[in-house]
Amino acid sequence: MTITFVGHGYVGLVTAAVFADFGNKVYVIGHTKEKVDNLKKGIIPIFEPGLEELVKKNIKAKRLEFTMDYAPAIPESDVVFIAVGTPPIKTGDADLSAVLGVAEQIGRNLSGYTVVATKSTVPIGTNKKVQLILEETKPEGAEVSYASIPEFLREGSAISDTVNPDRVVIGSEDPRAQKILIKLHEPIKAPVLITNFETAELIKYAANSFLALKISYANSIARLSELLGANALKVLEGIGMDRRIGNQFLYPGAGYGGSCFPKDVKALISIAKDHNYSFSLLEEVENVNHQARRDIVIKARGMLGDLRGKKIGVLGLAFKPNTDDMRDAPSIDVITWLKNDGSKITAFDPVAMGNATALMPGINFVTDMYKVAEDADLLIVLTEWNEFKELDLKRIKKLMRNLNIIDGRNIYEPKTLRDLGFNYVGVGR
Ligand SMILES: NC(=O)c1ccc[n+]([C@@H]2O[C@H](COP(=O)([O-])OP(=O)(O)OC[C@H]3O[C@@H](n4cnc5c(N)ncnc54)[C@H](O)[C@@H]3O)[C@@H](O)[C@H]2O)c1
Residues 330 and 254 in one domain: yes
Taking the C-alpha atoms of residue 122 and residue 119, their distance in angstroms, rounded to an integer, is: 9
**Given ligand 1 and candidates 8, 10, 29, 66, which is best to mutate, with the most ligand atoms within 8 Å of its CB?**
10
CB within 6 Å of ligand 1 — which residues?
6-12, 29-32, 83-86, 98, 101-102, 119-121, 151, 153, 155, 259-260
Indicate the Cα dihedral angle 84, 88, 91, 97, nearest 10°: -20
Domain count, the chain: 2
340 is a domain residue = yes
Q: Which tens digit of pLDDT belongs to each residue from 95-122? A: 999 999 999 999 999 999 999 999 999 9
| Cα angle value 380/385/390 (rounded, 5°) | 85
* Per-residue pLDDT tens over the stretch 184-206: 999 998 999 999 999 999 999 99
Instruction: Give the H or E element holding residue 243.
Output: none
202 assigned to some structural domain: no
CA of 120 from ligand 1 middle (Å) equals 7
Ligand 1 centroid–CA 98 distance in Å is 9
Q: How far apart are CA 168 and CA 155, in angstroms?
A: 18
pTM: 0.95
What is the rounded CA–CA span in Å between residue 336 and residue 338? 6
Question: Does residue 201 lie in a domain region?
Answer: no
139 as an active site residue: the answer is no
Q: Residue 207 falls within a domain, yes or no?
A: no
Mean pLDDT of the chain: 97
Please give the pLDDT value at position 283: 98
Residue 51 has pLDDT above 90, yes or no: yes
CA distance 261 to 241: 25
Percent of the chain whose pLDDT exceeds 90: 98
- A 10 A CB-CB count for 242 gives 9
Q: Are residues 373 and 415 in the same domain?
A: yes
Residue 382 clears pLDDT 90, i.e. is over it: yes
71 phi/psi in degrees, rounded to 5: -110, 135
At 93 the pLDDT is 86
Cα(347)–Cα(372) distance, rounded to whole angstroms? 6
Instruction: Name the phi and psi angles at 361, rounded to 5.
Output: -65, 150
Pseudo-torsion of CA 273, 277, 278, 282, nearest 10°? -90
The residue segments making up the domain with residue 249 are 214-429
Top mutation candidate among 39, 86, 259 for ligand 1, by most atoms within 8 Å of CB: 259
The whole-number average pLDDT for the span 62-83 is 98
Residues 251 and 185 in one domain: no
Q: Is residue 12 part of a domain?
A: yes
- Express each pLDDT in 292-327 by its tens digit: 999 999 999 999 999 999 999 999 999 999 999 999
Query: What are the pLDDT digits (tens) for 360-369?
Result: 999 999 999 9
Say yes or no to pLDDT of 92 above 90.
Answer: no
Report the separation in Å between the CA atom of 423 and the middle of ligand 1, taken as the mean of its atom positions: 42
Say whether both 151 and 186 belong to one domain.
yes
In this structure, are residues 328 and 358 in contact, taking their beta carbons and an 8 Å threshold? no
Backbone angles phi, psi at 32, to 5 degrees: -120, 115
Q: Please indicate, yes or no, whether residues 371 and 283 belong to a single structural domain of this protein.
A: yes
Using CA positions, which residue lies closest to atom 12 of ligand 1?
85
- 243 and 187 belong to one structural domain: no
What gap in Å lies between CA 326 and CA 403, rounded to an integer? Answer: 28
**Same domain? 184 vs 323:** no
The CATH number for 282's domain is 3.40.50.720
Q: What is the pLDDT of residues 213-222, one digit of tens each?
A: 999 999 999 9
Q: Is the pLDDT of residue 91 over 90?
A: no
Band of residue 281 on the pLDDT scale cut at 50, 70, 90? very high
345: closest CA among 392, 382, 390? 382
Indicate whether 114 and 244 sit together in one domain: no
Among 3, 260, 297, 378, the one annotated catalytic: 260
Whether residues 171 and 27 share a domain: the answer is yes
User: Does 267 reside within a domain?
Assistant: yes
pLDDT attached to residue 90: 87
Ligand 1 atom index nearest CA of 35: 37
pLDDT tens digit sequence for 236-268: 999 999 999 999 999 999 999 999 999 999 999
| 205 within domain boundaries | no
29 CA from centroid of ligand 1 (Å):
12
